[in-house]
Amino acid sequence: MGRELEPQLLHEAHDGLPAGRIDAKRGLRDRARVRFDEVLRRYPDTTWDLSIARVYLSAGDVSNGVARLQHAIVVDRTCGRYVSETPAFAPYRTNPLVAAALTQR
């Protein structure tokens, strides 16, 4: 799961993730999506997909959270197992849409 990030790229990705998190928590879904899409464009990696999925889910944006989970699972099937076993995703696994995404692995 993932490649090693170049230092500059890591910095840029980390800039977009917190800003997108703030936007998502404020309900600014379009702004959050633009920021997250930029992170993923610069560094397409399932690690970012899972982080972004968790942000969306914690903000109550289940449809975008599930979309990121599904993408991660399609790219790397082990992501489904990770989400199924990691305590950070435990609060969301009972959601029917999340549970359905996890059965697709």
Per-residue pLDDT tens listing for the chain (105 residues): 445 545 554 445 567 888 899 999 999 999 999 999 999 998 889 999 999 999 999 999 999 999 999 999 999 999 999 999 999 999 999 999 999 999 976
Level-2 CATH architecture, domain 7-103: Alpha Horseshoe (1.25)
What residues does each domain of the chain span?
7-103
Between CA 10 and CA 14, with CA 40 as vertex, the angle to 5 degrees is: 30
Q: Which residue pairs, CB below 8 angstroms and at least 24 apart, start in 27-36?
A: 27/59, 29/61, 29/64, 32/56, 32/59, 33/64
